[in-house]
Structure 1
Amino acid sequence: MLFRIDPRSPLALSEQVAASVRRAVADGTVAAGTRLPAARELATSLGVNVHTVLRGYQTLRDEGLIELRRGRGALVTAEADGARQRLLHRVRAAVADARGLGLSDEEFGQLVRQALRER
């Protein structure tokens, strides 16, 4: 799993850690039961404080995407797979709506890119 952080980003480093996990769940790179790197190990590899990684992991725990277990680390929950399935369902519904409106793939793609920029 690839963790990416950008110190110049306006997004807090801990949020960038959490976003890396969310992205991996969404694209299917990680599934339920996957063990995330130990916080100390990840902090060292990213060049950040261990508390930064722990804050990111705690955010994911609060969202129900991971479980934090003392001595066992962070595990991706079954809820994460469910989140991916819900997202895929919503994407398919949006594609169906776009088709119903007669939008081309390019027009639909432009709408998606516009929505992503508005975040």
Structure 2
Amino acid sequence: MLIRVDPARPEPLADQIAACLRRAIADGDAPAGTRLPGARELAASLDVSIHTVLAGYQRLRDEGLIELRRGRGATVRAGIPDGRAAVIDLARQLVDAARRIDLDETELIDLVRAAAR
């Protein structure tokens, strides 16, 4: 599993880390039970702060994709419905695209509701 960040991109580094891992989960490269690299180890390999890595891991935890356990690290959760990580990634891309054209949250939600009908 390859995790890369690009400091020149406008996206925060923690979001880039989360996106790489989200794609690995969606593509099946990180199946349920996969232990993710330790935060210190990953921070050192990417030359970023450990807090940046932890912020990326926390986003994935909040999305229900990984479990974080003190002393045991981060693992990909079991029971994630197929495609969930991909949908989360697409949702983030949609939000980013909406922000670029100054679409407010209400308009975006209305568009998503209309598309879901």
TM superposition score normalised by structure 1? 0.69
8 Å CA contact 1:25–1:84 kept in 2: the answer is no
Q: What is the aligned partner in structure 1 of residue 50 from structure 2?
A: 50
Identity fraction in percent: 60
Give the AA of the match of 1:17: I
1:32 counterpart SS class: coil
1:1-119 to 2 correspondence within 5 Å? Answer: 1-80=1-80, 82-84=81-83, 118=97
Q: Number of paired residues?
A: 91
How many Å apart are 1:16 and its aligned residue? 0.4
Instruction: Decide whether aligned partners of structure 1 residues 86 and 6 sit closer, same or farther in structure 2, where only a CA change above 3 A counts.
Output: closer
How many Å apart are 1:10 and its aligned residue? 0.9
How many Å apart are 1:26 and its aligned residue? 1.2
Consecutive unaligned residues of structure 1, counting only runs of 5 or more, are 89-114
Consecutive unaligned residues of structure 2, counting only runs of 5 or more, are 88-93, 99-117
Whole-Å separation in 2 of the counterparts to 1:51 and 1:87: 25
Larger helix proportion of the pair: 1
1:78 counterpart SS class: coil
CA RMSD, Structure 1 to Structure 2 (Å): 2.2
Whole-Å separation in 1 of the counterparts to 2:39 and 2:56: 10
Whole-Å separation in 1 of the counterparts to 2:2 and 2:42: 11
TM superposition score normalised by structure 2? 0.70
8 Å CA contact 1:65–1:79 kept in 2: the answer is no
1:8 counterpart SS class: coil
Give the AA of the match of 1:3: I
